[in-house]
Structure formats: structure tokens, C-alpha cells
């Protein structure tokens, strides 16, 4: 029943507590982790939404690691199969009201849906529609550009962020337009063309054009498709369409130039389209920005000297003092600030990668699969705390300092001395992202509680002698998921000790902490794996016989399945001191023996002298003895 | 200058004592020849190899001559007692010297003394070398045991 998953694989499911309700399991992909915060917030069933009932790891159809979100199965097919024109009454009664009700409930829980589109809204004739599951993939990931506000659509799909409920209102507005028209507007156009069109003439005009909509629907949709999210009506207002009709928040029309500024293949007629051109065409955009063409056009073409002066200041400020190594980053930062100044509604754009700052985690998780350009841009952006700078350019649209402090924390995760790194940043921002270790292939390990059992399962499949129980990705995963500073420090020690190459005491300490906190039961396989990998740790002991004894002891302890006693045997501070002292004594003795052997080898002449001396004395002694004996014999007669 | 002038004087002191010792020995020998001519003749003849050894042996302490002399003196005790018991005169001494057995025994004793003085260092060298080899073998065995116990892992 893939049609029910809104583009994600979905399977029929059953389970206790369903009460006869048909269920489905929507499968998440490893690089697109489920929305942990939303799954945590949605604990009770909601009207009009296929809300999550349960979630957890499992196996995919091909045996791969998978994560499933269990939801009620939709009662009918999706609206998009096929699209037909709806009457105004049906739109209001069966689409607008139920969806607005659902969105109001979601908003009251601080949650957005971000997946309202034709293939994820389900309908039984004569019944209110219900919006599908949107919990098993990052927000907005599968939204077509048509259903997204242009400032979200221009972002990389995985970096659209949670957005606000106003984005869902926008998607609902598009859905109403589509259903009112009975066809997809802008059909067949590329995403970039759709975005350009929306930015150029406004979303409502771009979608509706010269078509005629029912008057009430047209008035509603005009507000719902406002470019500024603050101008869109709240879902609660949508429950009373007449009220919304009287509420007109008209945005001031954008100032339009007489002649366009051509950047690459994009023509900019106003500040908004100029911002998009700079974002979409970074190379020619950068040249126009730093060459002064943008400022000149803003001042002379658009006639906005204030905006021109602010953009000029932003460019100069960033370029001043930048050395050669920083010049490229400074140019990217200047472009980011210029875009934010030109269009405060635009997302953060860094080297043509556009995203909303709260989508950084999902963007990183997606890019880990191999998009090095995006990874480079996101890493540079995080390293320079670009989100903080971006926030400072558009303070009226951000909570004071929230992004700046978040950017600082993200930079600390990226560069921090304690097990910092891109992997740690990615895991920290994605609570349900599975550990990417090849050791855990086939297991979706999203939390530390699942890791010991997964390692125990892996221990029966790997070559214990040649593969270490903890590799780099696992250590990074532990560092990201650990709440205790000591664990993070242990992870840092383990990584410094050479994660993935040699299993050391720091790695074992991590495993001990894992077992102590998350897995009280024995882990005989993992313990045997540790024992098989214990040579480098035992190698720290000087005495060979003691090493052999410890190895034997570890094998005995491993049978019990507990790692802490193994660590005690390996660390044993008192034993280490004794061993070291004995080793020093042995070294001194060996040095003495070597010296004595050298002395014996080189002592020939000395022995010859001594032999002569002793021989002469012995000869004299013999003569003296003979004389004494004769004298005594003579005296005795 | 004062120190420098004292050094030769200090170095010359043992040489002076040796000279006076030689002079004293000469006096004793002269007195012996004068006062006990028979004894002197008998001893001179019987200890002739030892006298030769003292002349030839230039090693410090004259170890070979000393051994030859001691062994020769042991062989002289009998003839001296015979000289003293038979009148202690020059004729008796000459008579004793005419006996080839007496002279042969004395010179053989001197030869034995020379032989012992030559062989004892060789035997001693062999003993010391054997002791050294045995000690080295014990040390190597101990070293091997220590290396086996305290060597690095994997060796």
C-alpha cells in the first residue's frame, strides 16, 4: 500500500490496541530520519490526521535497517488519483475545515505537518479529507515546489526545516487552488521555473493566473498564499471563512525597476528576484555583487539608495581584513548577508545551498550519502556560525539570539576538543539518525539503549580477531548521544586512541559504560569479541607471563558476559605499578648482565695479567712450602 | 721552583734505598765469604742456577729467580747439614761438591722451581678462562630468561 505513505514505502500493519482500526507502517530511510520531536509531541490521536501511534526500528523488505512509524491507514485513496474539480461547498466542508482543524490541533502542540500535497491527502467521497502521515521523513522533503512557499521550495529538500504552521496553510491554499481548478497549475514546469514565477508575480497570481475561482475560495486562497508567512491566516481563522474574507493583509507591492539586472540566466526586476538570482547563480551573482553592479543597479535602476547602501556596507564589511585564505568564505558570507538584506523572507543561502537553519541537521544527514559540495557548504557555514550572522541581518524575523546561540553550539560540536566532528554534529542534530557503522548494517540503532544489543548481535557475525567492536562512526555516535560529559570525554579518548584501527582501554571503557547504563543483561558475544581484541590493551603490561595470565583471565570473564570486570583486570592500577617496578628491576638487571658479559668478552688481557701474577705467587708459594718442609724435616731429624 | 726541585729528590729516594740495599747485600755476601768460606762455596755451587736466574730475570720482583732460589734452597738444606756435621771446612765442601748426586739434586730442584714458575701462570690462565666462560654461560641463560619474561608482546 505504497500509495498510502505519501511517497514513502508503507505496509499494512496490525497490533494490540488498534481496536480493529486498519493500520499501516510507513518506512523511513536511513539518510532521512523520522521527525523525533514531532513523534514525541504527538502522543494522542488527532482528528483529520493520520497521526503516529507508535514507532520503532525494524527490518526492511530486503533485510536492510529500517524504521517504521505506525499510523492509521487512510480510509480512501489520495486526492491526486486523479485530480478533479471540486465545488466550493465541498472544498469548504470536506477540505478546508477538516484540514484547518487538524492544523490547529498540530499548531497547539507546536508541530507542523509539512506534507500537505495531493498524494498525501486522502478522501472518501462525501467524507472530510484526512491528511496523511508526515512523520517518517524530514519536513517538506517530498513536497513539490508547487505546494511549498517559494522561500521553502528554493531550499535543498532536506534542509527545509520544520517551518511554521503558516507553511502548512500555504500548502492547504495550493491544495484548494488545485482542487478548485481541477488540474495542476504550472504543470510541466521545472521547480526553478515555478519558484521564479512565484517570486516574480506572487504565489496567488502565479497559480491562479487568469483562471476564475469561486469568490470565497479566491479570497481565502489569496491570503493563504501570501509570500510573508505573517500575512497568512492562522488555521483557527480558516474555520470561519467569512471572517478571513474580511481580513485582508495586503503586502506592499515590490518596487520594480525599469530595466532588469541580468545575473547568469536570471533577470532580476526587483529586490526579491535579485535575491533569488544571487542565490540561484552564485558565480555570476558573486561577480555582480563584488564588482558593484548590484549596488549600482539598486541605486540607479531600482532607486533604493538605502538598500543599496546597506548591501554595499555588507559587502565591504565582510571583505575588509580578509586574507587570501579567508577571501572565499568572506565572499560567501557577504553574499549571504546581501541576500538576507535584499529579501528578509529568503532562507539562509551559502554558496548556492539554501536552507532554513533548523533544517541543518536533516540536510547534513541527507548529504552524508555523498553530496560533498553540500557537505562542504554546510560545514563551512557551521564553522563560521553563519546562522548567527544571518539572524543579525534580519532581527525582526528571528527570536533574539536563538539562532546565534544554536550556531555557537553547533560549531562547538563540529570543532570541539571533546570528540567534535561532522559526524557528531549530524548525530546531535538528528536524534533518530541511525549509527552509520558498517558493523551495525541491518540494525537501526538510533539510541544508546539499542547499541549494546546491536553490538552483541554483530559480535556473532564478524571476524572477532580482525574487526574492532567500536569503529569511528560508533564512537562519534556515542559521543553525540551521550548526555554525561565523562562519556563524551571517553569517546574523545577513544577517537584519539585511533578509533577503527586498534581497540584500546578507552574503547572498552565506553562499552562498559554502555552496558552499565543501558543493558543490564550479559553480553557474552561482545565480551568474547573484546577478549579477542584485547592484545593491544594487554600489551601495556610488561611481564609476558602476566600478559598470558590476563589473557586467560579475560577469556574466563568473557564467558560471564560482563565487561566491567574485564576492564578492571586490564586496568588494575596496583598490578600495573608492581608490573612496572618489576620491569624496571629486570631492565636494570639485564643491563648489568650485558655489561658483565661485555666485560668478560673483553677481559682477556686482564685475565692474562692476573694469571701471571697468581701463577708467580703460586710458584713462590710452592718453593717456600718445599723449603719449609725440608727445614721441618731436618729439624725433626 | 721549590716544588720542581723537590720532585727529583723524592723520585731518587727508592733508587738510593735500592743502592744501599745492594750495598748491604754485598756486605753480607762478603762477610759470608770471609767468615764462612766453606758454606759460601757450597751454596754458590749448589745455587748457581738460581744466581744465573737472578741475573737473567729482569721482571719486577724477579718471580722466576725467586721460585728457582726457593726450590734450590730446599735442596741445599741437606748438604749444608752434612757440611756442618762433617767439620765445616773447605775440604768437606769440596768433597760434597764432588758428589754429582748432591749437585744434581740441587740443580734439579732449581730446574723444578723454574718449571713451576713457568707453568703456574699458564695453568692459572686456563683456570681463569674456564671460570669466565662458565660465568658467561650462566649470565646468558639468565638474560634469556629475563628477555623471555619481559620482552615486548608478540616476540
A449 close to B (CB below 8 A): no
Q: Mind listing the pLDDT tens digit for each residue in A585-637?
A: 999 999 999 999 999 988 888 888 999 999 999 999 999 999 999 999 988 87
> Considering only alpha carbons, which residue of chain B is nearest residue A584?
B150
Q: Mind listing the pLDDT tens digit for each residue in B45-66?
A: 999 999 999 899 888 888 999 9
Check residue A326 and give its pLDDT: 74
Q: Which pLDDT band holds residue A319 (cuts at 50, 70, 90)?
A: low
Strands A130-131 and A261-263: unpaired
- Measured between alpha carbons, how far is A165 from A210 in angstroms, rounded to an integer? 28
A193 close to B (CB below 8 A): no
Residue B138 confidence (pLDDT) above 50: yes
**Distance from chain centroid for Cα A620:** 96
Size of interface A-B (CB pairs under 8 A): 126
- Measured between alpha carbons, how far is A599 from A179 in angstroms, rounded to an integer? 103
CA distances from A251 to A177, A228, A242, A255, B150 (A): 20, 8, 20, 12, 83
Q: Which pLDDT band holds residue A322 (cuts at 50, 70, 90)?
A: low
Q: Under DSSP, is residue A322 helix (H, G, I), strand (E, B) or coil?
A: coil
> Considering only alpha carbons, which residue of chain B is nearest residue A619?
B117
Residue A500 confidence (pLDDT) above 70: no
Angle at B73 between CA B68 and CA B79, to 5 degrees: 135
The H or E element containing residue A67 is strand A65-72
> Considering only alpha carbons, which residue of chain A is nearest residue B128?
A607
Q: Is A627's CB within 8 Å of B73's CB?
A: yes
Check residue A629 and give its pLDDT: 93
Average pLDDT, chain A: 88
Nearest to A611 among B73, B121, B147 (CB): B121
User: In A, which residues are within 8 Å of B46 by CB distance?
Assistant: none
Helix B2-35 crosses helix B37-46 at what angle (to 10 degrees)?
A: 110
Check residue A488 and give its pLDDT: 60
Question: How close B90 gets to chain A, by Cα (Å)?
Answer: 22
Look at residues A480, A222, A509 and name the one whose alpha carbon lies nearest to residue A361.
A480
| More reliable by pLDDT, A591 or A396 | A591
> Considering only alpha carbons, which residue of chain A is nearest residue B71?
A623
| More reliable by pLDDT, A433 or A491 | A433
Burial A488-504 (b: 16+ CB within 10 A, else e): bbbbbbbbebebbeebb
- Measured between alpha carbons, how far is A494 from A506 in angstroms, rounded to an integer? 5
The ipTM estimated for the assembled molecules is 0.81
A34: left (phi over 0), alpha (psi -120 to 50) or beta: beta
Question: How close B22 gets to chain A, by Cα (Å)?
Answer: 22
Question: From the candidates B82, B110, B111, B116, which should be mutated to test the interface with A, based on the most A CB atoms within 10 A?
Answer: B116
- Measured between alpha carbons, how far is A596 from A3 in angstroms, rounded to an integer? 88
Quick one: how many helices (H) and strands (E) in chain B?
Answer: 6, 0
Q: Facing residues of A69 across strands? A: A26, A55
Question: How close B17 gets to chain A, by Cα (Å)?
Answer: 24
Q: Which pLDDT band holds residue B2 (cuts at 50, 70, 90)?
A: very low
Residue A499 confidence (pLDDT) above 50: no
- Mean pLDDT across A23-39: 91
Q: Mind listing the pLDDT tens digit for each residue in A472-497?
A: 888 888 888 886 665 666 666 666 65
User: In B, which residues are within 8 Å of A587 by CB distance?
Assistant: 150
User: In A, which residues are within 8 Å of B74 by CB distance?
Assistant: 623, 626-627, 629-630
- Mean pLDDT across A225-239: 91
Q: Is A616's CB within 8 Å of B129's CB?
A: no
User: In A, which residues are within 8 Å of B78 by CB distance?
Assistant: 630, 634
- Measured between alpha carbons, how far is A278 from A290 in angstroms, rounded to an integer? 11
> Considering only alpha carbons, which residue of chain B is nearest residue A608?
B125
Q: Is B116's CB within 8 Å of A596's CB?
A: no
In this structure, what DSSP letter does residue B58 have?
Answer: -
Question: How close B7 gets to chain A, by Cα (Å)?
Answer: 31
Residue B6 confidence (pLDDT) above 60: no
Amino acid at each position: 500500500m505504497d500509495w498510502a505513505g505519501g511517497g514513502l514505502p508503507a505496509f499494512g500493519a496490525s497490533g494490540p490496541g488498534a481496536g480493529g482500526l486498519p493500520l499501516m507502517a510507513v518506512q523511513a530511510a536511513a539518510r532521512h530520519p523520522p521527525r523525533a520531536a514531532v513523534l514525541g509531541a504527538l502522543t494522542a490521536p488527532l482528528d483529520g490526521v493520520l497521526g503516529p501511534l507508535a514507532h520503532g526500528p525494524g527490518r526492511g523488505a530486503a533485510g536492510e535497517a529500517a524504521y517504521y512509524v505506525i499510523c492509521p491507514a487512510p480510509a480512501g485513496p489520495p486526492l491526486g488519483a486523479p485530480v478533479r474539480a471540486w465545488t466550493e461547498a465541498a472544498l469548504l466542508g470536506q477540505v478546508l475545515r477538516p484540514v484547518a482543524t487538524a492544523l490547529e490541533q498540530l499548531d497547539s502542540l507546536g508541530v507542523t505537518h509539512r506534507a500537505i500535497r495531493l498524494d498525501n491527502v486522502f478522501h472518501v467521497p462525501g467524507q472530510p479529507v484526512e491528511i496523511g502521515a508526515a512523520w517518517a521523513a524530514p519536513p517538506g522533503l517530498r513536497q513539490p515546489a508547487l505546494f511549498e512557499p517559494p522561500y521553502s521550495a528554493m531550499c535543498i529538500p532536506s534542509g527545509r526545516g520544520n517551518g511554521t504552521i503558516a507553511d502548512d496553510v500555504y500548502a492547504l491554499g495550493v491544495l484548494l487552488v488545485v482542487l478548485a481548478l481541477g488540474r495542476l497549475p504550472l504543470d510541466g514546469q521545472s521547480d526553478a521555473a515555478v519558484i521564479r514565477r512565484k517570486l516574480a508575480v506572487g504565489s496567488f497570481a502565479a497559480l491562479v493566473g487568469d483562471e476564475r475561482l469561486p469568490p470565497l475560495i479566491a479570497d481565502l486562497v489569496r491570503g493563504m498564499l501570501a509570500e510573508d508567512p505573517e500575512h497568512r491566516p492562522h488555521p483557527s481563522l480558516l474555520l470561519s471563512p467569512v471572517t478571513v474574507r474580511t481580513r485582508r493583509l495586503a503586502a506592499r507591492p515590490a518596487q520594480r525597476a525599469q530595466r532588469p539586472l541580468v545575473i547568469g540566466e536570471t533577470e532580476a526586476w526587483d529586490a526579491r528576484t535579485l535575491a533569488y538570482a544571487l542565490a540561484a547563480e552564485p558565480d555570476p551573482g558573486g561577480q555582480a555583487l563584488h564588482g558593484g553592479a548590484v549596488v549600482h543597479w539598486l541605486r540607479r535602476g531600482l532607486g533604493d539608495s538605502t538598500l543599496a547602501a546597506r548591501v554595499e556596507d555588507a559587502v565591504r564589511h565582510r571583505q575588509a581584513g580578509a586574507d587570501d585564505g579567508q577571501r572565499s568564505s568572506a565572499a560567501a558570507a557577504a553574499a549571504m548577508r546581501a541576500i538576507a538584506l535584499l529579501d528578509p523572507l529568503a532562507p539562509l543561502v551559502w554558496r548556492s545551498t539554501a536552507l532554513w537553519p533548523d533544517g541543518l541537521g536533516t540536510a547534513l544527514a541527507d548529504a552524508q550519502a555523498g553530496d560533498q559540495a553540500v557537505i562542504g557548504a554546510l560545514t563551512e557555514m557551521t564553522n563560521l556560525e553563519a546562522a548567527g550572522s544571518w539572524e543579525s541581518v534580519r532581527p525582526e524575523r528571528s527570536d533574539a539570539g536563538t539562532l546565534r546561540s544554536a550556531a555557537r553550539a553547533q560549531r562547538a560540536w563540529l570543532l570541539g576538543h571533546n570528540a567534535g566532528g561532522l559526524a557528531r554534529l549530524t548525530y546531535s542534530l538528528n536524534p533518530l539518525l541511525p549509527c552509520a557503522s558498517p558493523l551495525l548494517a541491518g540494525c537501526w540503532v538510533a539510541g544508546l539503549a539499542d547499541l549494546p544489543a546491536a553490538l552483541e548481535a554483530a559480535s556473532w557475525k564478524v571476524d572477532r580477531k580482525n574487526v574492532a567492536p567500536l569503529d569511528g562512526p560508533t564512537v562519534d555516535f556515542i559521543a553525540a548521544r551521550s548526555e554525561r560529559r565523562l562519556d563524551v570525554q571517553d569517546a574523545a579518548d577513544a577517537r584519539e586512541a585511533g578509533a577503527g584501527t586498534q581497540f584500546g582501554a578507552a574503547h572498552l571503557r565506553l562499552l562498559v559504560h554502555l552496558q552499565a547504563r543501558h543493558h543490564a543483561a550479559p553480553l557474552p558475544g561482545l565480551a568474547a569479541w573484546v577478549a579477542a581484541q584485547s592484545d593491544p590493551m594487554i600489551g601495556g603490561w610488561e611481564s609476558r607471563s602476566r600478559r598470558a595470565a590476563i589473557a586467560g583471565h579475560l577469556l574466563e570473564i568473557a564467558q560471564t558476559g560482563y565487561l566491567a570486570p574485564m576492564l578492571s583486570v586490564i586496568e588494575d592500577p596496583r598490578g600495573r605499578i608492581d608490573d612496572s617496578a618489576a620491569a624496571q628491576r629486570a631492565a636494570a638487571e639485564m643491563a648489568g648482565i650485558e655489561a658483565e658479559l661485555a666485560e668478560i668478552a673483553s677481559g682477556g688481557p686482564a685475565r692474562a695479567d692476573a694469571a701471571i701474577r697468581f701463577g708467580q705467587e703460586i710458584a713462590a708459594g710452592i718453593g717456600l712450602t718445599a723449603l719449609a718442609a725440608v727445614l721441618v724435616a731436618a729439624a725433626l731429624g | 721552583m721549590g716544588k720542581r726541585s723537590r720532585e727529583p729528590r723524592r723520585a731518587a729516594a727508592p733508587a738510593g734505598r735500592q743502592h744501599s740495599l745492594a750495598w748491604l747485600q754485598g756486605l753480607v755476601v762478603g762477610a759470608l765469604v770471609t767468615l764462612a768460606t766453606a758454606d759460601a762455596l757450597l751454596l754458590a755451587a749448589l745455587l748457581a742456577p738460581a744466581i744465573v736466574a737472578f741475573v737473567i730475570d729482569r721482571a719486577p720482583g724477579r718471580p722466576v729467580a725467586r721460585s728457582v732460589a726457593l726450590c734450590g734452597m730446599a735442596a741445599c738444606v741437606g748438604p749444608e747439614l752434612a757440611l756442618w756435621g762433617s767439620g765445616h771446612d773447605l775440604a768437606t765442601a769440596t768433597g760434597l761438591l764432588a758428589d754429582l748426586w748432591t749437585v744434581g739434586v740441587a740443580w734439579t730442584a732449581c730446574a723444578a722451581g723454574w718449571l713451576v714458575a713457568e707453568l703456574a701462570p699458564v695453568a692459572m690462565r686456563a683456570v681463569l678462562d674456564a671460570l669466565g666462560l662458565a660465568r658467561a654461560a650462566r649470565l646468558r641463560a639468565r638474560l634469556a630468561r629475563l628477555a623471555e619474561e619481559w620482552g615486548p608482546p608478540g616476540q
